[in-house]
Structure 1
Amino acid sequence: MATTQKRANPAPEQERTAPRCNAAVEFGREVCGSLELADEREWLVTNGIGGYASGTVSGDLTRRYHGLLVAALHPPVGRTQLVAKLEETAGYEGGGFALATTRWSSGAVEPKGYLNIESFRLEGTIPVWRFALADALLEKRIWMRQGENTTYVQYSLLRGNGPLRLAVKALVNYRDFHSSTHAGDWSMRVESVGQGIRITAFDGATPFWLLSANARFEPRHEWYRDFLLPEETARGLDDREDYLFAAAANVELARSQSVTLVFTTDPQAELDGARTLTERVKHERGCYSKWKEGDAVAAAAAPAWIRQLILAADQFIVKRRLPGELDGGSVIAGYHWFGDWGRDTMI
């Protein structure tokens, strides 16, 4: 049985994120508090080998292509939805607050976490939400590690007069990213290992892990059925989906503490959220620096939003092993559904 790396300190992380800077993309309550407007605005993070995480500002999944870990199992192709979404609830000062948003095939929207979003912004390519929960302020951010099918979801309590209790349900899947799941009596193997959970969808499937250095995952196996994907409705395609509630995590945060959840195909994935966040920021700064070196005059006169375009362009560059060139590269033609097709890339 594969095991995960051990970490000595089970306590929540002290917040070590970079100071907030001006964002090229930022929305307040006028967008975040409207389900229609928040659903129209989508975010994307990538890993340089064809995998990605993507969703909407509201937290609702509107496409079959959305998910927290869409792994490239045969980089840069073989994209497979492994972790679909999280259903999070925060307990604070005797009250309960939803962070997640879900549409159901019945037409119901429940929970309605979008109503608690104070703001959304991009820090480089990293999506960042701030949730106002009574007088507490909780921040959430998502990124991937370059070169790995690994997604990090971090929660930080920025403000609060007491502890905040975070309860998270992980909803998983295992399907080609063009498909949809109607589970029937499908039974996945969900096992406790090391610092998290290992999931094997069926014999021969690539296993994946839900891990954390400072939150305990407990295994579950309950299908949540009949999610509605409204963008698939608009496309005239199958717009229903089932996801497996595979694990629950609970953690208590004091002010200035953080917790990071890790979703990965690598049982030895790095669990230190601060370290991998620093790596991601360094990678993105390197992309911008390389562009500036190529044309210093243009860089000096460029408006701030140019940086966002440079980082967006970097998301399309992927590694692909080629005959006689193990460190070869390619270009993704488009997200979400295109692969590295040269003809479409050049159109």
Structure 2
Amino acid sequence: LEKRVIMPYGHNSVYVEYRLLEGDPVCLRLRPFVTFRMLDARLHDAKRPPFPLTVLNGRYDMHLCEGAPSLKLCLRPHGGKFVADYELSVDVSYRVDRDRGSEHIESLASPGYFVADLTQDRPLAFVASTEPWELLEFDPEAIFEAEAKRLGKLLSQRAGEADDDIEGWLTMAADQFVVAPGSRLEEQALARASGNEARTIIAGYHWFTDWGRDTMISLEGLTLCTGRHQEARAILRTFANYVKDGLIPNLFPEGERMGLYHTADATLWYFHAINRYYRVTNDRETLLTLLPVLRSVLEHHVRGTHFGIGVDANDGLLRASAEGYQLTWMDALVDGWVVTPRRGKPVEIQALWYNALRCMEEWEVLTGQTPSRWSDLAEQVQRSFNERFWITAEGYLYDVIDGERGHDTAFRPNQVLSIALPHPVLQEDRWRSVVDLAADRLLTPVGLRSLSRDHPDYKPMYFGDLRARDAAYHQGTVWAWLIGPFIDAWLKVYKDTSKARGMLDGFRSHLLDDGIGTVSEIFDAEAPFHPRG
């Protein structure tokens, strides 16, 4: 018996197909259990009432809550038989939620079960959907074929090598994260009025939405390397509409909820994403459209904006000093506890700040403007950075200077960005030392540790309740995304592409493990580097 599952692109539907590969016909009995709630809503208890069920010509509509579309259940291409037999399965335990110390017991309702004969020449698909019935009349085989063609088109337009399996897997995985902002109807309407489609990037499944920082870090890989240039443009233009006092949102406004702008790096990553986009597409029109916004962003940073984000006139470096906020990507916060306090001048913020200034310098020259202000500031930043961040005795960079406790000597991967970005702020004769130490202390088969093992706050495993997990989140836990900046920095020193490719071997095997076909967000800091997140 073979089972295939597909969620058709752009539809709130799931098809579960069963195919008998050999043997005599069998009677298939399928009982669906449903919960129908937001993923972060409270779990249903045993007192839940039965869901009303409407039956008409082999169509079964479950009416689950007021104002929501009905949940449609059916078998395709033939209907089989439905037996109305309400059942409540109580005390169902979700193992992962239990292990995470979260609410994990729920009661699941079932309206009945389907019965159908399954033969070798007649596959059968169970369909659950909130779409109109008219969209569910297609033969399931046609749905699977259409999805295969769509994925084939994505694979054909990517920029990498056609026969590279890992690039193919990652291209298909990337497709899951480029989405339409479903709840922001005004944004979609404005985009369509200008002849575009609104697009954004989900930070991760299951519970993340679209975050500014994650979008800008991943935009190059998810859209430019995969040939999705129009979607990249739509994303960059969309974020320009949400700039507020020189900052892009880290969390978008949804419904009546205000957007959250508590991030010192997302806006600087925006410059990097635009730079990569322009290098690939040469889209001068979009660059010209965005330049006034980008100038305003830099002006706000020079004057100072929210959350204590602003330039220190004494050295040109960028501070992020608001108390009680997690302003960098190391942003774990639990019960008011900022786990990784990095108030002051974090090293990667300076690298991104310098890169943004040099990008603006290039763009001003490109458009016939005078770049001297940004050039002068960039030179001051680079001079101050190399004077103030370098620890001569250790051969690496402070993680934060001018912090709550002075300068932070913790060895973290953030300093790699001072080399990896297109405009490296660290002077070249120091690159090898940083890269070699990062390779020795942080590099694993699946990314970089977020803290070196010799630090007293180092946590080798990411597990337990929320407080325990957040205590480990950036205190040793391996982050997969950091392998990209590390390889960029490593290649600037060693220029050995073959060895660099070898650093991805751990991901090749991981693609067939855990979240099949995708890369986990994080991993334990010690072997066997169990995937987490």
Global fold match (TM > 0.5): yes
1:288 counterpart residue number? 155
The one-letter code sitting in structure 2 at the alignment partner of 1:216 is K
Residue among 159, 163, 170 paired with 2:25: 163
Q: Distance in 1 between matches of 2:111 and 2:121?
A: 29
TM-score normalised by length of structure 2: 0.37
8 Å contact from structure 1 (residues 331, 340) kept in 2: yes
Residue among 51, 59, 78 paired with 1:196: 59
Question: What does residue range 224-239 of structure 1 map to in structure 2 within 5 Å?
Answer: 224-239=89-104
2:201 counterpart residue number? 331
Q: Does 1:340 align with 2:210?
A: yes
Residue among 257, 263, 275 paired with 2:142: 275
Residue among 12, 21, 36 paired with 1:174: 36
The one-letter code sitting in structure 1 at the alignment partner of 2:146 is E
8 Å contact from structure 1 (residues 219, 248) kept in 2: yes
2:9 counterpart residue number? 146
Deviations 1:108-134 (A, max 9, x none): xxxxxxxxxxxxxxxxxxxxxxxxxxx
Residue among 234, 243, 250 paired with 2:108: 243
2:164 counterpart residue number? 303
Q: Distance in 2 between matches of 1:202 and 1:187?
A: 11
The one-letter code sitting in structure 2 at the alignment partner of 1:197 is Y
Q: Which runs of 5+ in 1 are unaligned?
A: 1-137
Cα RMSD between the aligned structures? 1.7
8 Å contact from structure 1 (residues 141, 154) kept in 2: yes
The one-letter code sitting in structure 1 at the alignment partner of 2:83 is E
8 Å contact from structure 2 (residues 30, 115) kept in 1: yes
Q: Which runs of 5+ in 2 are unaligned?
A: 218-328, 330-533
How much has 1:311 moved relative to structure 2? Answer: 0.4
8 Å contact from structure 1 (residues 190, 220) kept in 2: no
Deviations 1:148-186 (A, max 9, x none): 1011110000100x2111101011112111132214142
Deviations 1:261-310 (A, max 9, x none): 1111122223410110001111111110110xxx3xx414x531221111
How much has 1:146 moved relative to structure 2? Answer: 1.1
Q: Distance in 2 between matches of 1:158 and 1:257?
A: 10
1:316 counterpart residue number? 177
The one-letter code sitting in structure 2 at the alignment partner of 1:273 is P
Structure 1 residues 303, 185: CA separation in 2 closer, same or farther (over 3 Å shift)?
closer
Q: Which has the higher helix share?
A: 2
8 Å contact from structure 1 (residues 191, 219) kept in 2: no
TM-score normalised by length of structure 1: 0.55
Q: Distance in 2 between matches of 1:282 and 1:260?
A: 20
8 Å contact from structure 1 (residues 196, 217) kept in 2: no
Q: Distance in 1 between matches of 2:83 and 2:135?
A: 19
The one-letter code sitting in structure 2 at the alignment partner of 1:232 is D
2:83 counterpart residue number? 218
Greater relative contact order (Cα 8 A, min sep 6): structure 1 or 2?
A: 1
The one-letter code sitting in structure 2 at the alignment partner of 1:171 is F
How much has 1:141 moved relative to structure 2? Answer: 0.3
Query: How high is the sequence identity, in percent, across the aligned residues?
Result: 27
How much has 1:222 moved relative to structure 2? Answer: 1.8
Q: Distance in 1 between matches of 2:35 and 2:46?
A: 9
Q: Distance in 1 between matches of 2:27 and 2:199?
A: 44
Q: Distance in 2 between matches of 1:221 and 1:139?
A: 28
Residue among 65, 68, 79 paired with 1:205: 68
How much has 1:260 moved relative to structure 2? Answer: 1.0
Larger radius of gyration: 2
8 Å contact from structure 2 (residues 180, 199) kept in 1: yes
Q: Distance in 2 between matches of 1:219 and 1:197?
A: 10
Q: Distance in 2 between matches of 1:201 and 1:216?
A: 22
8 Å contact from structure 1 (residues 171, 245) kept in 2: yes
Structure 1 residues 233, 185: CA separation in 2 closer, same or farther (over 3 Å shift)?
closer
The one-letter code sitting in structure 1 at the alignment partner of 2:64 is A
Q: Distance in 2 between matches of 1:171 and 1:191?
A: 17
